[in-house]
């Protein structure tokens, strides 16, 4: 991975073309095996637990202990693997505008910061290992130290990988960035000495927030920025010992429901690799392709349906974009128009279950995962209809071939092929709404069902492709879980500094003006979603804004869906959002023209958001109808 100047960008040696020593290749293989085995083992345990509980009324009581260990391995060792493969969420938009040498120095500074943050966290985590040596897990009665050990190992691995990445960059950039990071560290130490025995609580939270925002804009992955913010807060505050850092990070992945996240990610990649998404798109083409602007309508509907299976926006854009682009070219559609529609549809899909953003929102707030799943369906449909209306009127100016209808018999044949993929959606919602299984258990069976279809029926996944799917899954899941753990530590810092109470006081100044509050919070999430690539904005703002919405008398479920839509718009907002560029790449569209055409679609997305905002019925009616909301 190189930048235009020919120097290594912040990727790994494995991605740079530089020969990787045998010992590192063996380490990479070992780590992927350990994390992948943990994921698959926990998948088997969840399926066995549901089977024994349902058929024999004998649940596996030890499944919870195994789940905790698996989650920590996936989060912290998997998080290190994700960093090794450059999968962590980071914002390089501003840094990439720098001249060549400052850009290289900024890349190197990021690695020094990762090294410093990981070293502090690893050092402090040893106290957690020691304190938990005498604690036993509830059922298996193994020492709790084993559950905390992946955090220490993960931080040590991050230190190693940061050094490896520094070794692949130019010596001048590495030395100059080291001087810069060391100088900032010395300034922090000097301020602490000046502080003496008199705490500076306002300085603590101020430095914490400024450090998070500035390092994110520098290109530091969001998870490390959040941990850095917590370190500064603890260092200058009087809210507890530094050991609170690893304790809160470890507790951030202690919830059983978080297992749904890696399972849904794995299920989505199985759907994509097994050809299931392709069969759905072809069937949808046979249904709505005959409308004016037909293939663009197909893009919108396909994104709605595929989002309900994969959960990953990058997987959605790839699955739909790769299937649609040749058909769009064949019928003469403007690639820039296609990219704009694809990006707008993906933004809409953030509130279609089981999106990763939805799973994250349910994990960092008190919102019910099942209620979120049901609540997002109608708002997404409203926005999809708005987009299709715009496409219909714009299509009058398109100079494209008329889509040839395939006829009833061909449509029926395609429908039969899509019946099995559609049955997966039915299984997901039936399991959650009936109460037979939790979202975690349903997601585990979704993986098993998807593998059964892809391996046995379609025969599009073999051992080699399955290994690649598992490797991609652990990178994505490790990145997201690591970010959630970091967000837990930073959320604790904000709570300890009583920042939510300060925001409540500020909201009181609005004199109950809910419209103004909604406008401020939605605009903030759109803008931060564009700057921070979506999910980091949700991690930072949702825990702060959601309690405020409740004090304003706004339904937290309704407000949560609004945040998801706003985050989705921001994540695909040109000219800086990465999701928009991914959409352009998928359909091979010129970015500048696509950005110009995207203005109309962003306007319609905002109109759809306003409709959903001021008509809560779209969000709340389905959850109320199925008994998930009183």
pLDDT in the model for residue 9? 44
Contact of 247 with 485, CB cutoff 8 Å: no
Q: How far apart are CA 247 and CA 151, in angstroms?
A: 10
Q: Which residues pair with 136 in a beta bridge?
A: 143
Q: How far apart are CA 580 and CA 587, in angstroms?
A: 11
Q: How far apart are CA 342 and CA 248, in angstroms?
A: 39
Q: How far apart are CA 390 and CA 394, in angstroms?
A: 6
Q: Which tokens sit at 549?
A: 């919405």
Q: How far apart are CA 112 and CA 614, in angstroms?
A: 47
pLDDT in the model for residue 500? 60
> Residue by residue, what is the 3-state secondary structure of 363-379?
HHCCCCHHHHHHHCHHH
Q: How far apart are CA 118 and CA 129, in angstroms?
A: 16
Q: In which residue are the tokens 């085995």 written?
A: 37
pLDDT in the model for residue 555? 92
Phi, psi (deg, nearest 5) at residue 627: 80, 15
Q: In which residue are the tokens 């690695």 written?
A: 111
pLDDT in the model for residue 153? 95
Q: How far apart are CA 74 and CA 397, in angstroms?
A: 50
Contact of 191 with 236, CB cutoff 8 Å: yes
Q: How far apart are CA 405 and CA 391, in angstroms?
A: 19
Q: Which residues of 518-547 are buried (b: 16+ CB within 10 A; e: fewer)?
A: beebbebbbebbbbbbbbbbbbbbbbbbbb
DSSP track, 453-470: IIIIIS----HHHHHHHH
Q: Which tokens sit at 406?
A: 């395939």
Q: If we measure between CA atoms, which residue out of 81, 160, 74 comes closest to residue 118?
A: 160
DSSP single-letter state for residue 197? T
Q: Which residues of 93-106 are buried (b: 16+ CB within 10 A; e: fewer)?
A: bebeeeeeeebbbb
Q: Which tokens sit at 291?
A: 């409308």
Q: Which tokens sit at 614?
A: 């001021």
Q: Which residues pair with 467 in a beta bridge?
A: none
Report residue 32 CA to chain centroid gap: 20
Q: How far apart are CA 86 and CA 80, in angstroms?
A: 10
Query: Which H helix or E strand runs over 79?
Result: helix 78-84
pLDDT in the model for residue 504? 59
Q: How far apart are CA 59 and CA 230, in angstroms?
A: 39
| Secondary structure of residue 436 in the 3-state scheme | coil
| Secondary structure of residue 246 in the 3-state scheme | helix
pLDDT in the model for residue 101? 92
Residues of the chain with pLDDT under 50: 1-17
């Amino acid at each position: 991975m190189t930048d235009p100047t020919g120097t290594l960008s912040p990727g790994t040696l494995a991605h740079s073309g530089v020969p990787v020593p045998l010992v590192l290749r063996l380490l990479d293989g070992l780590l992927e095996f350990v994390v992948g085995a943990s994921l698959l083992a926990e998948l088997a345990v969840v399926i066995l637990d549901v089977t024994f509980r349902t058929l024999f009324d004998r649940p596996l009581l030890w499944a919870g202990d195994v789940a905790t260990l698996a989650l920590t391995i996936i989060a912290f060792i998997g998080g290190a693997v994700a960093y090794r493969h450059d999968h962590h969420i980071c914002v390089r938009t501003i840094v990439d505008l720098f001249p060549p040498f400052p850009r290289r120095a900024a890349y190197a500074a990021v690695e020094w910061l990762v090294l410093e943050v990981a070293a502090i966290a690893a050092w402090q985590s040893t106290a957690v290992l020691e304190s938990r040596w005498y604690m036993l897990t509830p059922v298996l009665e193994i020492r709790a130290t084993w559950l905390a050990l992946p955090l220490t190992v993960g931080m040590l691995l991050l230190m190693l990988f940061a050094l490896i990445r520094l070794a692949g960059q130019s010596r001048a950039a590495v030395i100059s960035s080291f001087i810069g990071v060391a100088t900032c560290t010395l300034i922090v130490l000097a301020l602490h000495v000046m502080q003496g025995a008199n705490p500076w609580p306002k300085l603590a939270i101020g430095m914490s927030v400024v450090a998070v925002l500035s390092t994110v804009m520098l290109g530091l992955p969001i998870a490390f920025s959040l941990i850095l913010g917590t370190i500064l807060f603890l260092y200058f505050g009087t809210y507890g010992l530094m050991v609170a850092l690893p304790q809160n990070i470890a507790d951030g992945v202690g919830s059983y429901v978080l297992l749904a996240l890696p399972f849904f990610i794995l299920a989505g990649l199985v759907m994509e690799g097994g050809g299931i998404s392709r069969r759905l798109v072809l069937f949808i083409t046979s249904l709505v392709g005959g409308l004016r602007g037909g293939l663009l309508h197909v893009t919108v509907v396909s994104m709605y349906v595929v989002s309900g299976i994969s959960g990953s926006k990058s997987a959605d854009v790839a699955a739909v974009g790769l299937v649609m682009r040749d058909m769009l070219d064949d019928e003469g559609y403007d690639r820039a128009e296609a990219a704009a529609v694809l990006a707008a549809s993906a933004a809409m899909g953030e509130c279609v279950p089981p999106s990763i953003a939805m799973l994250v929102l349910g994990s960092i707030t008190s919102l019910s995962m099942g209620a979120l799943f049901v609540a997002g369906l109608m708002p997404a449909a409203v926005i999809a209809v708005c987009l299709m209306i715009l496409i219909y009127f714009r299509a009058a100016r398109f100079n494209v071939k008329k889509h040839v209808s395939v006829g009833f018999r061909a449509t029926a044949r395609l429908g039969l092929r899509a019946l099995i993929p559609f049955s997966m959606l039915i299984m997901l919602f039936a399991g959650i709404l009936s109460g037979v299984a939790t979202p975690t258990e349903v997601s585990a069976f979704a993986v098993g069902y998807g593998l059964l279809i892809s391996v046995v029926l379609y025969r599009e996944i073999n051992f080699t492709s399955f290994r690649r799917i598992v490797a991609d899954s652990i990178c994505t899941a490790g990145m997201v879980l690591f970010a959630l753990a970091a967000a837990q530590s930073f959320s604790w810092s904000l709570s300890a500094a009583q920042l939510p109470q300060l925001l409540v006081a500020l909201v009181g100044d609005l004199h109950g003006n809910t419209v103004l509050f909604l406008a401020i919070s939605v605009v903030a999430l759109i803008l931060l979603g564009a700057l921070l690539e979506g999910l980091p904005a949700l991690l930072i703002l949702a825990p702060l804004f959601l309690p405020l919405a409740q004090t304003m008398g706004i339904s937290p479920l309704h407000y949560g869906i609004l945040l998801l839509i706003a985050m989705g718009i921001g994540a695909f907002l040109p000219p800086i959002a990465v999701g928009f560029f991914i959409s352009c790449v998928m359909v091979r569209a010129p970015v500048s023209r696509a950005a110009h055409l995207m203005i109309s679609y962003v306007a319609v997305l905002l109109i759809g958001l306003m409709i959903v905002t001021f008509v809560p019925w779209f969000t709340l009616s389905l959850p109320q109808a199925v008994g998930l909301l009183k």
